[in-house]
Structure 1
């Protein structure tokens, strides 16, 4: 049985946008779509049964709205759904273990009926073993595509670029492959971006190597990036690749590079941490500041 694309549903506009994006991705990947509504329940003893019934009703309504949206947008995608009692993050992580990828709204509702100001999404991103795509509330199908000839929105034009953040100190096959596959499925161009820093002259001391010409540094990094991606170019010959290196902070470079993109792909190292969900600074910045959907791909 094929692993599904899973979308977390909580009734918010973000989760409905996530369900629609997940349906389109399931269609591209020829995968089934699975909608999951998970809710936390901490009732007082005397009203537990009533509160539970209300929660189940809200869950059913949220799933029904998402199903209607998916059926209208991608009627051919096989669809299943489930509602489950929380903890919400744990329930979604369990679903992610069996998923091709997980899709969530990047922010959600404050309160017991939804994401706690993104805490669920961040918790899933930090610990999920499958890629997690975060989608904002205003994301629509036309946003994945280039404008029409008259400048208007279109779903018939080509796809916007897929942008891949490459850390050349830690280039990970899982992250690179996900980006190439996403570009292949969309017949889109892949823009691979690496950010590097010019050494600061005040940091030089006795025995240190002085500054080399900035242009030469850029050429060296670009050559390294091309070498890292060559194997993937060979594996995906139909994907057009544009390599870019910039002398800038990675967070700033990615926000700038993702402007006008259809998808940004970043990596996230999985690690056991004693307290709370955490993501690295680049992933954190992408989640909070990039306007297009962000795919966070875990790796060891």
Structure 2
């Protein structure tokens, strides 16, 4: 069976150095395979509130994620590889797992901006390693 669908590389971004490295790797892999990249950023509202009565700017969570997505799409715009963005409200692991259903490859950084420093794998990459619906590449920057 011959298919005309391009090879799709899904890359999760969060503004971290690891996610930028993941996007660079994903773009190069898509170039080698004549494919395309879908760049996924997610956001969610915090589960806790400030006991001191601080008023959250809830819209800032979505704005920040959109800014990160836009910045990364601009950064790879001149590579010659088609790249589109997907902004998802919700848990990052869930958003990437859903996106992996139609992907040929999922690429993420080993640790993003959340979590604990020194961990080899963050909670998102760990969940993806166990549940991704396609091959997964976890990029670890030297550091």
Task: Name the TM-score class by shorter chain.
Answer: 0.7 to 0.9
2:136 paired with 1:128: no
- Structure number with greater CO (CA < 8 Å, separation at least 6) is 2
Task: Tell me, yes or no, if the aligned pair for 2:110 and 2:125 is still in contact at 8 Å.
Answer: yes
Contact (CA 8 Å) 2:44, 2:61: kept in 1 or not? no
After superposition, where does 1:231-270 map in structure 2 within 5 Å?
Answer: none
2:68 maps to 1:62: yes
TM score, norm. by length of structure 1: 0.40
**Structure 1 residue 95: Cα displacement:** 0.3
CA distance in 1 between counterparts of 2:30 and 2:109 reads 16
Question: Which structure would you say has the larger Rg?
Answer: 1
1:3 deviates by 4.5
Give aligned pairs, total: 129
Unaligned runs of 5+ in 2: 116-120
8 Å Cα contact 2:129-2:136 kept in structure 1: yes
The question of whether the paired residues in 2 share the 8 Å contact of 1:16 and 1:137 is answered with no
Q: How does 1:139-218 map to 2 (within 5 A)?
A: none
CA distance 1:55–1:65, change in 2 (3 Å): same
Pairwise CA RMSD: 2.1
Instruction: Assess, with a 3 A threshold, how the Cα gap between structure 1 residues 3 and 94 changes in structure 2: closer, same or farther.
Output: farther
Verify the 8 A CA contact 1:15 1:137 in the aligned structure 2.
no
What TM-score results when the alignment is normalised by the length of structure 2? 0.80
Stretches of structure 1 that go unaligned for 5 or more consecutive residues are 112-116, 139-290, 292-300
- Summarize deviations over 1:196-242 as a string: whole Å, max 9, x none: xxxxxxxxxxxxxxxxxxxxxxxxxxxxxxxxxxxxxxxxxxxxxxx
User: Which of 105, 112, 137 in structure 1 is aligned with 2:109?
Assistant: 105
Runs of 4+ in 1 over 6 A off after TM superposition: none
